[in-house]
Amino acid sequence: MPSLKDLKGRIASVKSTQKITKAKQMVAAAKLRRAQEAAEASKPYARRLADVVANLTSAMGEGAGGPKLLAGSGDDKVHLLVVMTAERGLCGGFNANVAKKARIQIEELRAAGKTVKIITVGKKGRDMLGRDYGDLFIDHVDLSEARDSFTPYAIGLGQELAQRFEAGEFDVATLIFSEFKNVLTQTPVTNQLIPATAPDDAETIDLSGAIYIYEPSEEDILETLLPRYLNTQVLSAMLENAAGEQAASMTAMDNATRNAGELIDSLTLQYNRARQAQITKELIEIISGAEAL
């Protein structure tokens, strides 16, 4: 049985940990509000741009070709996975869930005889996947210095993907990230970036038989819009991931704070019982000694 000194020291240690987790929870809550606002603010632009791409694509008609970012390379042998996680831990299963989604995708592609390449965004994804798939890594995006904006990182990654695709390094690029639902729910999802595909629920305009003449042509417009659409998708995923990370961190730290409180109560009860037993023992010894006299 632990001594009173050991129990007292452990209670003090758990109380110190509880202060840290409580502070971390409050910081995550403040950051979550800003991250959620940024993610929500980006959605109207991303949605409208997706609608424009969907309308231009439908206007071109079936089999009309189009820019390479839209038409693809004509093959799907080489797949590039862009895996987005957080730079830090202490956020429950947030990073592990994204890594698990990536592992499933990698194994499915390998089983189908595809070649897989990986670009990681965030330190935790690189660490988790590096043990098993380090030989598949071709690049890493470090977000440790990102503070106020992810835009430069999103543009840089979008341009890199476009350049690598033009160079023929891969046929299909897929983004794996955590979609922010609410404070308690962050769902790992996959989103095909290249060849670019508009969302199934993108709003298209019913022309009612009318024919629109575009100047410049639909293909020229798409040549300009698709790189921007690619950057927007990457930025939106980064913002969703950031909001999800803070939500997961806040929830994890809240659970840790409550667990620490329960542990303190349990240790305090154990300490009081041990102290009571020690006092009782001392009283018995004093009484026994007095009776012996």
Instruction: Give me the active site residues, please.
Output: 91
- Tell me whether the omega of the peptide bond preceding residue 44 falls within 30 degrees of 0, making it cis: no
- Tell me whether the omega of the peptide bond preceding residue 199 falls within 30 degrees of 0, making it cis: no
Spatial contact of 239 and 35, defined as CB atoms under 8 Å apart: yes
Is residue 169 within a helix (H) or strand (E), and if so which, with residue range?
none
- Tell me whether the omega of the peptide bond preceding residue 216 falls within 30 degrees of 0, making it cis: yes
- At 29 the three-state DSSP class reads helix
Rounded distance between C-alpha atoms, residue 60 and residue 221, angstroms: 11
DSSP-derived secondary structure letter, 77: S
With 0-12 / 13-18 / 19 or more C-beta atoms within 10 angstroms meaning exposed / middle / buried, residue 233 is buried
Rounded distance between C-alpha atoms, residue 25 and residue 277, angstroms: 38
Angle at 77 between CA 227 and CA 187, to 5 degrees: 60
**194 has which bridge partners?**
173
Rounded distance between C-alpha atoms, residue 137 and residue 82, angstroms: 10
Rounded distance between C-alpha atoms, residue 183 and residue 245, angstroms: 10
Q: Which two tokens stand for residue 165?
A: 């695709």
Q: Which two tokens stand for residue 219?
A: 């293909």
Of 154, 121, 149, the C-alpha closest to 137 is 121
